[in-house]
Amino acid sequence: MSTEPKTAPKPQRRITTTQLAAMKTAGERITMVTAYDVLFARLADRAGVDAILVGDSLGMVVQGDENTLGVTVDDIIYHTRAVVRGAPRAHVVADMPFMSYQADAIEAIKNAGRLLKEGGAQSVKLEGGEELAPIVEKMVRAGIPVMGHVGLTPQSVHALGGFKVQGQDATNATRILRDAKALEAAGCFSIVLEGIPVELARVITRALTIPTIGIGAGVDCDGQVLVIYDLLGMYDERVPKFVKQYAQVGEAITTAVADFKQEVQAGTFPTEAHSYHAKEQLFRPREIVPAPQEIDDEDGIGGLYGVPV
Protein backbone atom coordinates (compact mmCIF):
# COMPACT_ATOMS: atom_id res chain seq x y z
CA MET A 1 0.00 0.00 0.00
CA SER A 2 1.22 3.49 -0.77
CA THR A 3 2.36 5.57 2.20
CA GLU A 4 1.85 8.80 0.24
CA PRO A 5 -0.55 11.13 2.07
CA LYS A 6 -3.80 11.39 0.15
CA THR A 7 -4.48 15.02 -0.66
CA ALA A 8 -7.38 16.16 -2.77
CA PRO A 9 -6.30 18.12 -5.85
CA LYS A 10 -6.49 21.85 -5.14
CA PRO A 11 -9.48 23.48 -6.78
CA GLN A 12 -8.41 25.90 -9.48
CA ARG A 13 -8.75 29.49 -8.36
CA ARG A 14 -10.33 31.96 -10.73
CA ILE A 15 -8.35 35.11 -11.55
CA THR A 16 -9.79 38.17 -9.82
CA THR A 17 -9.86 41.87 -10.64
CA THR A 18 -7.34 42.37 -7.82
CA GLN A 19 -4.93 39.96 -9.48
CA LEU A 20 -5.33 41.74 -12.82
CA ALA A 21 -4.53 45.03 -11.08
CA ALA A 22 -1.48 43.46 -9.41
CA MET A 23 -0.21 42.34 -12.81
CA LYS A 24 0.09 45.98 -13.88
CA THR A 25 2.02 46.82 -10.73
CA ALA A 26 4.34 43.85 -11.31
CA GLY A 27 4.82 44.79 -14.99
CA GLU A 28 3.24 41.50 -16.13
CA ARG A 29 1.24 41.81 -19.33
CA ILE A 30 -2.40 40.69 -19.32
CA THR A 31 -3.73 38.40 -22.07
CA MET A 32 -7.44 38.40 -22.89
CA VAL A 33 -9.33 36.72 -25.73
CA THR A 34 -13.00 36.58 -26.56
CA ALA A 35 -14.92 33.31 -26.43
CA TYR A 36 -18.58 32.51 -26.91
CA ASP A 37 -18.89 28.79 -26.16
CA VAL A 38 -17.63 26.08 -23.86
CA LEU A 39 -15.14 24.53 -26.28
CA PHE A 40 -13.24 27.68 -27.21
CA ALA A 41 -13.37 28.85 -23.59
CA ARG A 42 -11.82 25.56 -22.46
CA LEU A 43 -9.06 25.76 -25.06
CA ALA A 44 -8.29 29.39 -24.21
CA ASP A 45 -8.31 28.65 -20.47
CA ARG A 46 -5.90 25.74 -21.01
CA ALA A 47 -3.65 28.08 -23.01
CA GLY A 48 -3.38 30.19 -19.87
CA VAL A 49 -5.14 33.43 -20.80
CA ASP A 50 -5.81 35.70 -17.83
CA ALA A 51 -9.26 36.83 -18.93
CA ILE A 52 -11.97 35.81 -21.36
CA LEU A 53 -14.37 38.39 -22.75
CA VAL A 54 -17.81 37.28 -23.85
CA GLY A 55 -17.86 40.16 -26.30
CA ASP A 56 -20.85 41.59 -28.08
CA SER A 57 -18.65 40.99 -31.14
CA LEU A 58 -20.67 37.76 -31.12
CA GLY A 59 -23.28 39.76 -33.05
CA MET A 60 -20.84 39.76 -35.96
CA VAL A 61 -18.75 36.60 -35.60
CA VAL A 62 -21.44 34.25 -34.27
CA GLN A 63 -24.74 35.75 -35.43
CA GLY A 64 -23.47 37.14 -38.76
CA ASP A 65 -24.72 40.74 -38.39
CA GLU A 66 -22.76 43.66 -39.80
CA ASN A 67 -22.37 45.30 -36.39
CA THR A 68 -22.91 44.59 -32.68
CA LEU A 69 -26.09 46.61 -32.12
CA GLY A 70 -28.59 43.74 -32.26
CA VAL A 71 -27.06 41.74 -29.41
CA THR A 72 -29.31 41.36 -26.35
CA VAL A 73 -28.65 40.84 -22.64
CA ASP A 74 -30.18 37.35 -22.99
CA ASP A 75 -27.69 36.55 -25.81
CA ILE A 76 -24.75 37.51 -23.59
CA ILE A 77 -26.14 35.53 -20.63
CA TYR A 78 -26.56 32.43 -22.80
CA HIS A 79 -22.98 32.59 -24.11
CA THR A 80 -21.48 33.60 -20.75
CA ARG A 81 -22.95 30.53 -19.05
CA ALA A 82 -21.24 28.30 -21.61
CA VAL A 83 -17.92 30.15 -21.31
CA VAL A 84 -17.92 30.02 -17.50
CA ARG A 85 -18.50 26.24 -17.66
CA GLY A 86 -15.54 25.84 -20.00
CA ALA A 87 -13.08 28.13 -18.24
CA PRO A 88 -12.47 27.39 -14.56
CA ARG A 89 -9.44 29.66 -14.21
CA ALA A 90 -9.69 32.76 -16.41
CA HIS A 91 -11.51 35.88 -15.25
CA VAL A 92 -14.74 36.04 -17.30
CA VAL A 93 -15.94 39.48 -18.43
CA ALA A 94 -19.43 39.79 -19.93
CA ASP A 95 -20.04 42.61 -22.42
CA MET A 96 -23.03 44.87 -21.83
CA PRO A 97 -25.00 45.16 -25.08
CA PHE A 98 -25.96 48.40 -26.80
CA MET A 99 -28.69 50.25 -24.84
CA SER A 100 -28.54 47.94 -21.84
CA TYR A 101 -26.76 50.56 -19.67
CA GLN A 102 -26.81 53.99 -21.36
CA ALA A 103 -30.31 55.11 -20.34
CA ASP A 104 -29.89 55.16 -16.56
CA ALA A 105 -28.03 53.64 -13.64
CA ILE A 106 -30.95 51.51 -12.44
CA GLU A 107 -31.24 49.74 -15.78
CA ALA A 108 -27.47 49.38 -15.99
CA ILE A 109 -27.31 47.82 -12.50
CA LYS A 110 -30.20 45.46 -13.24
CA ASN A 111 -28.72 44.27 -16.54
CA ALA A 112 -25.18 43.97 -15.19
CA GLY A 113 -26.60 42.10 -12.20
CA ARG A 114 -28.20 39.58 -14.57
CA LEU A 115 -24.87 39.03 -16.35
CA LEU A 116 -23.24 38.23 -13.00
CA LYS A 117 -26.11 36.26 -11.43
CA GLU A 118 -27.53 34.38 -14.43
CA GLY A 119 -24.45 34.36 -16.67
CA GLY A 120 -21.92 33.69 -13.93
CA ALA A 121 -19.46 36.37 -15.15
CA GLN A 122 -17.10 37.99 -12.65
CA SER A 123 -17.29 41.45 -14.21
CA VAL A 124 -18.93 43.43 -17.01
CA LYS A 125 -17.59 45.69 -19.75
CA LEU A 126 -19.28 48.75 -21.20
CA GLU A 127 -18.38 51.27 -23.91
CA GLY A 128 -18.22 55.03 -23.45
CA GLY A 129 -16.37 57.78 -21.62
CA GLU A 130 -16.84 60.69 -19.25
CA GLU A 131 -20.62 60.83 -19.85
CA LEU A 132 -20.98 57.32 -18.42
CA ALA A 133 -18.91 57.95 -15.28
CA PRO A 134 -21.94 58.67 -13.00
CA ILE A 135 -23.56 55.37 -14.08
CA VAL A 136 -20.32 53.43 -13.62
CA GLU A 137 -19.90 54.93 -10.15
CA LYS A 138 -23.34 53.64 -9.11
CA MET A 139 -22.67 50.20 -10.62
CA VAL A 140 -19.38 49.92 -8.74
CA ARG A 141 -21.08 51.01 -5.52
CA ALA A 142 -23.62 48.23 -6.10
CA GLY A 143 -20.72 45.75 -6.10
CA ILE A 144 -20.35 45.25 -9.85
CA PRO A 145 -16.78 45.22 -11.18
CA VAL A 146 -16.74 47.31 -14.39
CA MET A 147 -14.24 47.30 -17.25
CA GLY A 148 -14.40 50.43 -19.43
CA HIS A 149 -13.88 50.64 -23.20
CA VAL A 150 -12.82 53.87 -24.96
CA GLY A 151 -11.52 54.94 -28.38
CA LEU A 152 -13.13 53.02 -31.23
CA THR A 153 -16.31 51.90 -29.49
CA PRO A 154 -18.12 49.58 -31.96
CA GLN A 155 -21.57 50.24 -30.45
CA SER A 156 -21.17 53.85 -31.70
CA VAL A 157 -20.45 52.73 -35.26
CA HIS A 158 -23.18 54.96 -36.71
CA ALA A 159 -22.16 57.99 -34.64
CA LEU A 160 -18.50 57.48 -35.58
CA GLY A 161 -19.31 57.04 -39.29
CA GLY A 162 -17.84 53.51 -39.41
CA PHE A 163 -15.19 51.42 -37.67
CA LYS A 164 -12.55 54.18 -37.76
CA VAL A 165 -9.37 54.77 -35.77
CA GLN A 166 -10.01 57.41 -33.08
CA GLY A 167 -7.85 60.04 -31.40
CA GLN A 168 -5.49 60.78 -34.24
CA ASP A 169 -5.73 64.54 -33.68
CA ALA A 170 -4.94 66.45 -30.49
CA THR A 171 -8.57 67.41 -29.68
CA ASN A 172 -9.88 63.86 -29.90
CA ALA A 173 -6.83 62.39 -28.19
CA THR A 174 -7.35 64.78 -25.25
CA ARG A 175 -11.02 63.78 -25.05
CA ILE A 176 -10.17 60.06 -24.99
CA LEU A 177 -7.54 60.63 -22.28
CA ARG A 178 -10.17 62.54 -20.27
CA ASP A 179 -12.66 59.68 -20.83
CA ALA A 180 -10.18 57.10 -19.53
CA LYS A 181 -9.35 59.19 -16.45
CA ALA A 182 -13.05 59.72 -15.69
CA LEU A 183 -13.72 55.97 -15.90
CA GLU A 184 -10.81 55.25 -13.57
CA ALA A 185 -12.11 57.86 -11.11
CA ALA A 186 -15.59 56.29 -11.34
CA GLY A 187 -14.15 52.96 -10.19
CA CYS A 188 -13.44 50.89 -13.33
CA PHE A 189 -10.91 48.14 -12.56
CA SER A 190 -9.52 48.13 -16.11
CA ILE A 191 -10.09 49.80 -19.49
CA VAL A 192 -10.02 48.48 -23.05
CA LEU A 193 -8.35 50.89 -25.48
CA GLU A 194 -9.51 50.14 -29.01
CA GLY A 195 -8.37 51.57 -32.33
CA ILE A 196 -6.25 54.49 -31.13
CA PRO A 197 -2.69 55.60 -31.94
CA VAL A 198 0.20 53.96 -30.11
CA GLU A 199 1.26 57.37 -28.78
CA LEU A 200 -2.14 58.00 -27.14
CA ALA A 201 -2.38 54.49 -25.68
CA ARG A 202 1.07 54.94 -24.13
CA VAL A 203 0.07 58.24 -22.48
CA ILE A 204 -3.22 56.77 -21.15
CA THR A 205 -1.50 53.64 -19.84
CA ARG A 206 1.05 55.72 -17.94
CA ALA A 207 -1.57 58.15 -16.65
CA LEU A 208 -3.76 55.41 -15.13
CA THR A 209 -3.12 53.14 -12.17
CA ILE A 210 -5.61 50.54 -13.49
CA PRO A 211 -4.55 48.22 -16.33
CA THR A 212 -5.26 49.13 -19.95
CA ILE A 213 -5.98 46.31 -22.38
CA GLY A 214 -5.35 47.21 -26.00
CA ILE A 215 -6.82 46.11 -29.29
CA GLY A 216 -5.37 48.09 -32.16
CA ALA A 217 -3.70 50.38 -29.61
CA GLY A 218 -0.04 49.33 -29.83
CA VAL A 219 2.36 47.48 -27.62
CA ASP A 220 2.54 49.81 -24.63
CA CYS A 221 -0.81 48.84 -23.11
CA ASP A 222 -0.77 46.70 -19.95
CA GLY A 223 -2.38 43.85 -21.86
CA GLN A 224 -3.83 42.83 -25.22
CA VAL A 225 -7.15 41.39 -26.34
CA LEU A 226 -8.14 39.81 -29.66
CA VAL A 227 -11.33 38.25 -30.94
CA ILE A 228 -10.53 34.52 -30.86
CA TYR A 229 -11.75 33.82 -34.40
CA ASP A 230 -9.53 36.66 -35.67
CA LEU A 231 -6.39 35.31 -34.01
CA LEU A 232 -7.15 31.80 -35.25
CA GLY A 233 -7.70 32.97 -38.83
CA MET A 234 -11.35 31.90 -38.89
CA TYR A 235 -13.17 35.17 -39.58
CA ASP A 236 -12.36 36.70 -42.94
CA GLU A 237 -15.34 39.04 -43.48
CA ARG A 238 -13.25 41.88 -42.13
CA VAL A 239 -9.61 41.59 -41.09
CA PRO A 240 -8.50 44.87 -39.49
CA LYS A 241 -4.82 45.92 -39.62
CA PHE A 242 -4.40 45.22 -35.89
CA VAL A 243 -5.28 41.53 -36.23
CA LYS A 244 -2.51 38.96 -36.28
CA GLN A 245 -3.63 35.52 -37.41
CA TYR A 246 -1.65 33.01 -35.32
CA ALA A 247 -3.10 30.06 -37.25
CA GLN A 248 -5.19 29.30 -40.33
CA VAL A 249 -7.89 27.32 -38.56
CA GLY A 250 -10.58 28.46 -41.01
CA GLU A 251 -8.69 26.93 -43.93
CA ALA A 252 -7.99 23.75 -41.94
CA ILE A 253 -11.73 23.38 -41.18
CA THR A 254 -12.79 23.87 -44.81
CA THR A 255 -10.19 21.33 -45.96
CA ALA A 256 -11.27 18.79 -43.33
CA VAL A 257 -14.97 19.12 -44.17
CA ALA A 258 -14.22 18.89 -47.93
CA ASP A 259 -12.17 15.71 -47.27
CA PHE A 260 -15.13 14.28 -45.33
CA LYS A 261 -17.50 15.06 -48.21
CA GLN A 262 -15.12 13.47 -50.73
CA GLU A 263 -14.85 10.25 -48.66
CA VAL A 264 -18.62 10.08 -48.13
CA GLN A 265 -19.18 10.39 -51.87
CA ALA A 266 -16.49 7.81 -52.64
CA GLY A 267 -17.87 5.41 -50.01
CA THR A 268 -14.49 5.26 -48.25
CA PHE A 269 -15.87 6.59 -44.96
CA PRO A 270 -16.71 5.01 -42.59
CA THR A 271 -14.20 2.16 -42.66
CA GLU A 272 -14.19 -0.86 -40.35
CA ALA A 273 -12.33 1.25 -37.78
CA HIS A 274 -15.37 3.54 -37.44
CA SER A 275 -18.11 0.85 -37.59
CA TYR A 276 -19.94 -1.42 -35.13
CA HIS A 277 -20.99 -5.04 -35.65
CA ALA A 278 -23.88 -7.01 -34.25
CA LYS A 279 -23.10 -9.63 -31.61
CA GLU A 280 -25.45 -12.19 -33.19
CA GLN A 281 -27.47 -12.70 -36.36
CA LEU A 282 -30.14 -10.02 -36.22
CA PHE A 283 -32.59 -11.14 -38.89
CA ARG A 284 -33.55 -14.33 -40.72
CA PRO A 285 -32.04 -14.23 -44.23
CA ARG A 286 -35.43 -14.08 -45.96
CA GLU A 287 -36.40 -11.04 -43.92
CA ILE A 288 -33.58 -9.09 -45.49
CA VAL A 289 -33.94 -7.09 -48.67
CA PRO A 290 -30.71 -7.61 -50.60
CA ALA A 291 -28.55 -4.58 -51.27
CA PRO A 292 -28.57 -3.72 -55.00
CA GLN A 293 -25.13 -5.20 -55.59
CA GLU A 294 -26.20 -8.44 -53.88
CA ILE A 295 -29.32 -9.10 -55.97
CA ASP A 296 -27.45 -11.47 -58.25
CA ASP A 297 -25.88 -13.36 -55.32
CA GLU A 298 -26.02 -17.04 -56.04
CA ASP A 299 -27.40 -17.96 -52.65
CA GLY A 300 -29.87 -15.07 -52.81
CA ILE A 301 -29.35 -14.35 -49.11
CA GLY A 302 -28.00 -10.81 -49.25
CA GLY A 303 -25.99 -9.23 -46.45
CA LEU A 304 -26.70 -9.57 -42.78
CA TYR A 305 -26.93 -5.80 -42.61
CA GLY A 306 -29.44 -5.39 -45.40
CA VAL A 307 -32.75 -3.63 -44.76
CA PRO A 308 -35.26 -5.71 -42.77
CA VAL A 309 -38.68 -5.98 -44.48
Looking at the annotation, which residues are catalytic? 194
End-to-end CA distance of the chain: 59
Please identify, using beta-carbon distances, which residue of 40 and 288 lies nearer to ligand KIV.
40
Is residue 55 part of the contact set for ligand KIV (CB under 6 A)?
yes
Instruction: For residue 270, say if its preceding peptide bond is cis, omega within 30 degrees of 0.
Output: yes
Is residue 34 part of the contact set for ligand KIV (CB under 6 A)?
yes
Q: How far is the CB of 215 from ligand KIV (least distance, A)?
A: 5
Q: Where does this chain touch ligand KIV (CB under 6 A) — which range of 49-57, 162-170, 250-258, 292-300? A: 49-57
Interface residue with ligand KIV among 24, 33, 36, 56 (CB under 6 A) is 56
Please identify, using beta-carbon distances, which residue of 234 and 288 lies nearer to ligand KIV.
234
Please identify, using beta-carbon distances, which residue of 83 and 225 lies nearer to ligand KIV.
225
Please identify, using beta-carbon distances, which residue of 193 and 288 lies nearer to ligand KIV.
193
Label each residue of the chain as H, E or C: CCCCCCCCCCCCCCCCHHHHHHHHHCCCCEEEEECCCHHHHHHHHHHCCCEEEECCCHHHHCCCCCCCCCCCHHHHHHHHHHHHHHCCCCEEEEECCCCCCCCCHHHHHHHHHHHHHCCCCCEEECCECHHHHHHHHHHHHCCCCEEEEEECCHHHHHHHCCCCCCCCCHHHHHHHHHHHHHHHHHCCCEEEEECCCHHHHHHHHHHCCCCEEEECCCCCCCEEEECHHHHCCCCCCCCCCCCCCCCCHHHHHHHHHHHHHHHHHHCCCCCHHHCCCCCCCCCCHHHEECCHHHCCCCCCCCCCCCEEC
Is residue 225 part of the contact set for ligand KIV (CB under 6 A)?
yes
Interface residue with ligand KIV among 93, 152, 215, 221 (CB under 6 A) is 215
Is residue 45 part of the contact set for ligand KIV (CB under 6 A)?
no
Please identify, using beta-carbon distances, which residue of 173 and 190 lies nearer to ligand KIV.
190
Is residue 31 part of the contact set for ligand KIV (CB under 6 A)?
no
Q: How far is the CB of 227 from ligand KIV (least distance, A)?
A: 5
How many residues touch ligand KIV under the rule CB under 6 A: the total is 11
Non-local (6+) Cβ contacts of 129 within 8 A are 148, 150, 175, 176, 178, 179, 180, 182, 183
Question: What is the Cα–Cα distance from 137 to 131, expressed in whole angstroms?
Answer: 11
Question: What is the Cα–Cα distance from 78 to 82, expressed in whole angstroms?
Answer: 7
Please identify, using beta-carbon distances, which residue of 53 and 132 lies nearer to ligand KIV.
53
Interface residue with ligand KIV among 20, 139, 192, 288 (CB under 6 A) is 192
By beta carbon distance, the residue nearest ligand KIV is: 55
Site for ligand KIV in 79-108 (CB under 6 A): 95
Is residue 227 part of the contact set for ligand KIV (CB under 6 A)?
yes
Interface residue with ligand KIV among 15, 44, 51, 57 (CB under 6 A) is 57
Q: How far is the CB of 60 from ligand KIV (least distance, A)?
A: 9
Q: How far is the CB of 61 from ligand KIV (least distance, A)?
A: 8
Is residue 150 part of the contact set for ligand KIV (CB under 6 A)?
no
Identity of residue 246 = Y
The residues of the shown chain that bind ligand KIV, judged by CB under 6 A, are: 34, 53, 55-57, 95, 192, 194, 215, 225, 227
